[in-house]
Amino acid sequence: MSAQSPPPPPNAARERPPSDSAPEQPPARPWRTEGLPKKPPPKPRSRWITAAAWIVGYLLLFGMLTVQDRLSAPEPVPYTEFKSQVASKNVAELFARGDSIEGELKKVAPVPGQQDRTYQQFTTERPTFASDDLLAELTDGGATVRATSLVQQRGFLTNLLISFGPLLLLVGFYIWMFKRQQGAMAGGLLGGGKQKRVDPETVRVTFDDVAGIDEVEAEINEVVDFLRDPEKYRRLGARAPKGVLLAGAPGTGKTLLARATAGEAKVPFFSASASEFIEMIVGVGASRVRELFSEARKVAPAIIFIDEIDTIGRARGGARAVGGHDEREQTLNQILTEMDGFSGHEGVVVLAATNRPDVLDPALLRPGRFDRQIVIHPPDHKGRSEILKVHTRKVPLSVDVDLEQLASSTPGMTGADLANLVNEAALLAARRGQDAVSQRDLTDSLEKVQLGTARNVVIPEEQRRRTAYHEAGHALLGMLQPGADPVRKVSIIPRGRALGVTLSTPEADRYGYDVNYLRGRIIGALGGMAAEQEVFDIVTTGAESDLETVTRIARSMVGRWGMSERIGTLSVLPAEGDPRIAGISDGLLNAVDEEVRRITDECYAEARRLLRENRDKLDAIVAQLLVHESLDEPQIYAAAGIARTAIAPSPAPIPA
């Protein structure tokens, strides 16, 4: 199976995450802010603090009740003191429960042993061995003996709490349930989940953190300059763009560029994804848009960044409309209204990012809304070198590391790919117990990223030999084709879903393709299948991905790029969708299929002819592959006996 130059998932540069970041706190709004005026952030209340507050409150209440009960409690006196008061007929009333006696005197009396204290209500314990006729003595003294309810002996506050306690518990339980239900409704229906708050101090990025897209920085510098010094433009009657649309494939650094713009201008930055505005309940998205723009105006000058704006900004009506979604359209209408409402002196600039600018509503792209569109392309060789320098700032490198050579070996790779490459190399160096990342670590990581992780599987010798001829066929035709991309590596070690891989990458970046180069790519892709048929007279399933690549290139040559005399200068096959919708006839489509078949048949015949004429070179490469399993660029050319010559700049991988 062949691994020709991998298709480029473009990206520009990736920001370096801060080493020390503040703890994330969920804000109340569904967007993240950065660079707002300094305010002490509200500290989240810890569960321990809440529990401690409840415990302290309980202890205070318990203490108050205890003090009240003690103040209103009767004075404990000895039984002899009680008998003396009975004898003096000073007992007014009395309540007995077992041997416990509580009562009240007619006149206050001093506490025994404490002449400075007096008492009137008392309590005492009758000894079990007492044999006096207490009831007769009390009756003779005119005392009233009765049964008194226990509730009447408690304090006022205690009785009040006991009376209203159950009701308070019911009310508290109802409030708790109501708030819990409200939170569930907000989370499930209104989408009020936890959102990440961007720390204004530790996450600011500038253009120093962006590399590989210098031309884009130059364009967006006007926005930065306006936000820094708006009077310079107002004197000449100029106004800043109300909106800047950043278009590019996923991961091209659109979000990073927007944040770097805000960091460079030193203004607050509001970031939100368009999908956060869309909710199940109609009207929620529009209200969130109003609130977002209102908050930005309060701290103007400011930047609002809306990521993936095609989620809500798709064209209303037409073939590309997703259907009648009232919430999406209301949200889009609110954005249009808010951007139209700018007077031009509010100092609020809207940045938006999308991967599909072709599906956006025309109302968004008209002047006065998104005045400027900036397309972010994949980085070139110089850009890749700068991106590698950015991502290796905090990575210790050995003296043998050559970032320029690494940039030359990674055409089509984007900033995210390069960041991943550096990270994989650092992980590999750590596993090997090294103190710094070497060139070998970077090369091995590049092999892993481009070719996949090696699998430890045992392959029968016959299958191994057939795989070696398959990969050698790819490599030999890549070396024989004039102007073809140099063969960088050949391996029969199983990686991913492939039993073997051949890697070819161009010497330099180029952005145009001619017929000879494309036919050479087809011949090289068919080399594995042709080698198997020449040597073993069979065709295996290992050519599946090769045939997909061949079909894609040949169909694009005939149906999109006008490289067939029979079809002529027509664009027959659209990038997506059924060509019949665009009015293409079945006869023309049949002619395209016949031309695709003709081109692939001619290229396959040429591949078999070249392999027959250079069978000795093919066998030599196979012999070395069976011994070493993996050959680098110098080893491949040495095994084939072909001199490695400088090759003119070649195009990047064929677009889909």
pLDDT on residue 71: 61
Residue 327 sits in the same domain as residue 208: yes
Q: Are 415 and 12 in contact (CB under 8 A)?
A: yes
Over the Cα atoms of the chain, what is R_g? 42
Using the predicted structure, report yes or no on whether residue 486 has a pLDDT greater than 50: yes
Task: Identify any residues that bridge with 587 across adjacent strands, giving them in sequence order.
Answer: none
Angle between helices 615-628 and 527-536 (to 10 degrees): 100
Strands (DSSP E) along 131-218, which ranges? 144-145
Is 342 found in the same domain as 397?
A: no
Neighbouring C-beta atoms of residue 124, cutoff 10 Å = 21
pLDDT score for 42: 57
Same domain as 395, residue 351: no
Residue in 359, 366, 272 with CA at minimum distance from that of residue 313: 359
Residues 274, 261: Cα–Cα separation, whole Å: 20
Q: Which helix (H) or strand (E) holds 94?
A: strand 91-97
32 pLDDT more than 70: no
Q: What is the DSSP letter of 245?
A: E
Contact 103, 94 (CB under 8 A): yes
In whole numbers, what is the pLDDT of the chain averaged over residues?
Answer: 76
Same domain, 594 and 447: no
Assigned domain for 58 exists: no
Instruction: Please tell me the distance from the alpha carbon of residue 422 to that of residue 230, in angstroms, as a whole number.
Output: 41
Do residues 268 and 123 both lie within one domain? no
* pLDDT tens readout for residues 72-93: 667 788 888 888 888 888 888 8
Contact 558, 564 (CB under 8 A): yes
The token pair that represents 538 in the structure block: 């069979």
Residues 397 and 363 in one domain: no
- Please say if the pLDDT value at position 262 is more than 70: yes
pLDDT: which is higher, 1 or 515: 515
Q: How far apart are CA 191 and CA 275, in angstroms?
A: 11
- Flag whether pLDDT at 488 surpasses 60: yes
Would you state the pLDDT for residue 280? 55
Q: What is the pLDDT of residue 36?
A: 57
Among 98-102, 161-165, 197-201, 402-406, the range with the most confident prediction by mean pLDDT is: 402-406
Per-residue pLDDT, 154? 55
pLDDT given at position 597: 93
Residue at token pair 């012999």: 623
DSSP state, 396? -
User: In terms of Cα–Cα distance, which of 337, 346, 339 is closest to 371?
Assistant: 339
Confidence of residue 15 (pLDDT cuts 50, 70, 90): very low
Comparing C-alpha atoms, which of 468, 538, 607 is closest to residue 1? 468
Is the torsion defined by CA of 254, 259, 260, 265 positive or negative? positive
End-to-end CA distance of the chain: 19
Average pLDDT score over residue span 177-196: 51
Q: What is the pLDDT of residues 499-518, one digit of tens each?
A: 888 878 777 666 778 888 88
Query: Rounded CA gap, 327 and 288, in Å?
Result: 12
Q: What is the mean pLDDT of residues 208-219?
A: 73
| Mean pLDDT, range 584-596, rounded to an integer | 89
- On whether residue 614 sits in a domain, the answer given is yes
Are 359 and 407 members of one domain?
A: no
Inform me whether the pLDDT recorded for 188 exceeds 50.
Answer: no
Whether 635 and 533 map to the same domain: the answer is yes
List the CATH number of the domain containing 148.
Answer: 3.30.720.210
Q: What is the pLDDT of residue 346?
A: 66
pLDDT at 252 over 70: yes
Specify if 19 maps to a domain: no
Mind listing the pLDDT tens digit for each residue in 439-470? 888 888 888 887 777 777 777 888 888 888 99
Selected residue with higher pLDDT from 578 and 58: 578
Q: Which residue has the higher pLDDT, 620 or 134?
A: 620
In this structure, the number of other CB atoms found within 10 A of the CB of residue 162 comes to 11
Q: Considering the domain boundaries, does residue 575 fall inside one?
A: yes
Domain count, the chain: 4
Tokens in use for 106? Answer: 């007619």
Stronger pLDDT, 487 or 596, i.e. the higher one: 596
Kindly state whether residues 505 and 407 are assigned to the same domain. no
Is position 96 within any domain? yes
pLDDT band at 332 (very low <50, low <70, confident <90, very high): confident
Model pTM greater than 0.85?
no
388 shares a domain with 370 = no
Q: Which of 154, 178, 203 is the last residue of a domain?
A: 154
Last residue of a domain, one of 412, 433, 451: 451
Residue 600 DSSP symbol? H
What CATH number corresponds to the domain at position 560?
A: 1.20.58.760
- Asked, for residue 602, whether it belongs to a domain, the answer is yes
Q: Is 631 within a domain?
A: yes
Residues 204 and 325 in one domain: yes
CATH code of the domain covering residue 409: 1.10.8.60
Catalytic residue status for 633: no
Together in a domain, 445 and 516 = no
Give the domain range for residue 332: 32-36+195-374
Element holding 597 (H helix, E strand): helix 586-613
Domain of residue 228, CATH code:
3.40.50.300
Q: Which of 329, 471, 595, 606 is catalytic?
A: 471
Dump pLDDT digits (tens) for 605-614: 999 999 888 8
User: What's the rounded Cα separation, in Å, for the pair 565 and 595?
Assistant: 9
- What percentage of the chain has pLDDT greater than the value 90? 7
**pLDDT bucket at 25, cuts 50 / 70 / 90:** very low
Q: Give the separation between CA 406 and CA 415, rounded to whole angstroms.
A: 13
Does some domain include residue 144?
Answer: yes
Q: In this predicted structure, what is the pLDDT of residue 164?
A: 65
Domain boundary among 125, 154, 183: 154
Instruction: Give residues with Cβ within 8 angstroms of 447, minimum separation 6.
Output: 489
Closest CA to 613 of 480, 515, 484: 480
